[in-house]
Amino acid sequence: MAQKDQLGRRGEDEAAAYLTALGWRIVDRNWRCPSGEIDIVALDGTELVIVEVKTRSGRGYGDPLEAVDPRKLTRLCILAGAWRRAHRDVRARTTRIDLIGVLAERHREPVLDHLRAAA
Amino acid sequence: MSAVAPAVPTAPRSTSRAAAVALEGLAGRIVEIEAALTNQTPGLKLVGLPDTALREAQARVRSAVEHSGFEMPSRHLTVNLSPAAVPKHGSGFDLGIAVAVLGTTGTIDAEAVADTVFLGELGLDGRLRPVPGVLPAVRAAARAGRPRIVVPTASGAEASLVDGIEVVAVPSLRTLAIRLGADLEPVDVEPVPGPPPLRERSTAADLAEVVGHAEAVEALVVAAAGGHHLMMVGPPGAGKTMLATRLPGLLPDLAGEAALDATSIASLAGHGVDRVRTRPPWQAPHHTATEASIIGGGSGRIRPGAVTRASGGVLFLDEATEFAPSVLDALRQPLESGRIAVHRAAARAEFPARFQLVLAANPCACGQWQSAGGTCTCAPAARQRYLGRLSGPLLDRIDIRLHVDRPSAAEVRLAREEAPRVTTAAARERMLAARDRTAFRLRGTPWSINAEVPGSWLRHPDRAPADGAAASLDVALERRLINLRGHDRVLRLAWTLADLRGLDRPGRSEVGRALALRSSDA
């Protein structure tokens, strides 16, 4: 596994643990389809949340969340639709997209930044 | 693995505010800078009619904040410059934007700076750079009742020229943030130096150096005493420019608002300012100058033209006939009102333009017409066309018309034998005494020099010239040698001559002399 994938995996694990601690139910992880991949699908009460996790090992290239540009957000919306079509059995009133930035610096506790309802 | 608390609360944050000044001409208005965090991916958007230099503030502010030891907020920032409809130019808003941005993250106490005005451009390293027009901006902030203004270190002396507002000069964003409560170690930085101050003209050109030209020297003193516009016609090499450069030395020092205006104009033009300018300015644009360079203009920010830079001093147009007719006629409005309003589709700027006009021209294309020892080779029609390029309405506003010829050999010889010459210092004393008399006579009126007095006031029966001197004027009027406006100008000149001689009112000799100065064959 390449180093960057390892970092990403670690960030996603952190995010999943954080969401569980919030009381959300993790429904799916690393779901793939021809349009791309969803990091985490969770249920916040009755709302379905598509979570994109961005992990960085430092601020040298800016805030982790800055990497999510409008194009990426559009793609997340398409993926959200694809996931719902593929899982008609999961009942949820609404769907939203959250972003979680993970700053995982060396020898430090990772810091999470949760941006709700990014789209 | 433990869950970590989110770094940023999920509720949208409060907004943060700071203030800056948008300049339009010499007038400025306060611009409120609001910054608000919104729940979107990180970024910075600037709204409120910014120009290109201001839009680029986004990049400068971001870099400066990060190099000053802070982090940009991890949410989207919207920065609004209000009132949104007022056009804003330049980089002077950087500091205010940075302060508002730091206010949103709670780095500095946003409430404490709500009534403070911030001026300055940010370097990428977080140091503050001076911007042009600090003085008019500080005056505007003081007029708006703001108690405090923050400026770059290099502009501290300039900003302190304004009374009634506390000036804080800082070298960098970091230093300012520490003053405003940020928890950081101070770092010594070298302040960015400003442009070198514009030295005031020394009074090196003295009247005493003028050889001959006794009549012209006297005319200069009259022009200085009454604030009259002056035109000199004569062959090349007669000394027109040499005479004109000696006029500013004769004028009195600028005082009060006029001095602050002159200093503000120098500041707007990008010159360094360290003290109030008191000597009258001197502008001598080349005859290829465009209308915009003389009147003021430019796309985007409206810049002052030569008429404004000469305000309170002398505007000298050498080879006046070579100027574009549209440029010369554009001078009529400022000559009449002492102000110039420049209109653009998006904005309007008004500048002071109370200058004393000095025109110099050759009498004809070859320059020899009526000169001693010269032979004019121009056809009469060509000659007429030549000076005809100066329009009647413009010439009507010029009180003194002078024929300047080359000094003859006899005059030069006389001068060598130490004939008593008029020095600038002596002439200035006479001029000041005359101006005092004028001001005393005009007390209670809105005018202070003779050139400003309207004709209706001069023609009032109470102020008629002594011993029936008006008769010769009436004759000139009847013979159509002068029109009514010319009649008023002669009266005005006669009053200046009387003031110079210490008389209560002009008599026959003053009116006659004024007529000669006004209608001498030029």
User: With bands split at pLDDT 50, 70 and 90, how would you rate the model's confidence at B151?
Assistant: very high
Q: CA B151 → CA B66, B124, B190, distances in Å? A: 20, 17, 15
Instruction: From chain A, pick out residues whose CB is under 8 angstroms from the CB of B42.
Output: 62-63, 65-66
How, if at all, do strands B43-47 and B76-82 pair? parallel
Asked if the Cβ–Cβ distance from B39 to A73 is below 8 Å, we say no
Q: Domain B16-179 is in which class?
A: alpha beta
pLDDT of residue B457: 86
DSSP B71: -
Instruction: From chain B, pick out residues whose CB is under 8 angstroms from the CB of A14.
Output: 1, 4
Average pLDDT of span B252-275: 88
Element (H, E) at B484: helix B484-501
Which residue type is seen at B174? R
The torsion angle over the Cα atoms of residues B138, B142, B143 and B146, rounded to 10 degrees, is 120
For chain B, the structural domain boundaries read 16-179, 207-448, 453-516
Assigned token pair, A27: 């429904």
Instruction: From chain B, pick out residues whose CB is under 8 angstroms from the CB of A63.
Output: 42, 72, 74
Assigned token pair, B119: 């001026």
Residue B432 burial (10 A CB sphere; 0-12, 13-18, 19+): middle
pLDDT greater than 70 at residue B481: yes
Asked if the Cβ–Cβ distance from B41 to A69 is below 8 Å, we say yes
pLDDT greater than 80 at residue B414: no
Q: How far apart are CA A58 and CA B177, in angstroms?
A: 25
Summary mean pLDDT of chain B: 86
Helix/strand number for chain A, H first, E second: 2, 5
B282-334 tens-digit pLDDT? 999 999 999 999 999 887 778 899 999 999 999 999 999 999 999 998 998 89
Instruction: From chain A, pick out residues whose CB is under 8 angstroms from the CB of B9.
Output: none
Closest-CA residue to B400 (of B514, B234, B238): B514
Task: Kindly report the CATH number assigned to the domain that includes residue A28.
Answer: 3.40.1350.10
Task: Give residue A11's domain range.
Answer: 3-115
CB of B412 within 8 A of CB of B221? no
pLDDT greater than 80 at residue B418: no
pLDDT of residue B1: 38
State the ipTM, two decimals: 0.71
Residue B401 burial (10 A CB sphere; 0-12, 13-18, 19+): buried
In chain B, % of residues over pLDDT 70: 95
Listed in sequence order, the residues at least 6 apart from B489 whose beta carbon sits closer than 8 Å to its beta carbon are: B396, B399, B518
**CATH placement of domain B207-448:** 3.40.50.300
Q: How far apart are CA B176 and CA B168, in angstroms?
A: 9
Asked if the Cβ–Cβ distance from B41 to A68 is below 8 Å, we say yes
Lateral strand order in the sheet of B148-152: B43-47, B76-82, B27-38, B16-24, B116-118, B148-152, B166-170
Given B4, B39, B74, which is nearest A18 (Cβ)? B4
Omega before B83 within 30 of 0, i.e. cis: yes
Instruction: From chain B, pick out residues whose CB is under 8 angstroms from the CB of A56.
Output: none
Given B6, B40, B71, which is nearest A114 (Cβ)? B6
Report the domain count for chain A: 1
Q: How far apart are CA A29 and CA A17, in angstroms?
A: 12
Given A13, A73, A113, which is nearest B7 (Cβ)? A113
Exposure string over B185-212, b if 16+ CB within 10 A, otherwise e: eeeebebbebeeebeebeeebebeebeb
Residue B314 φ/ψ, nearest 5 degrees: -120, 130
pTM: 0.79
A65-103 tens-digit pLDDT? 888 888 999 999 999 999 999 998 888 888 999 999 999
Q: How far apart are CA B451 and CA A4, in angstroms?
A: 81
pLDDT of residue B32: 93
Residues of B with CB under 8 A from a CB of A: 1-8, 10, 39-43, 71-72, 74-75
Instruction: From chain A, pick out residues whose CB is under 8 angstroms from the CB of B2.
Output: 17
CB of B158 within 8 A of CB of B274? yes
| B71: closest CA of chain A, how far (Å) | 9
Average pLDDT of span B37-60: 86
Asked if the Cβ–Cβ distance from B42 to A65 is below 8 Å, we say yes
Closest-CA residue to B71 (of B96, B102, B37, B110): B102
Which residue type is seen at B408? S
Average pLDDT of span B209-226: 88
How, if at all, do strands B27-38 and B76-82 pair? antiparallel
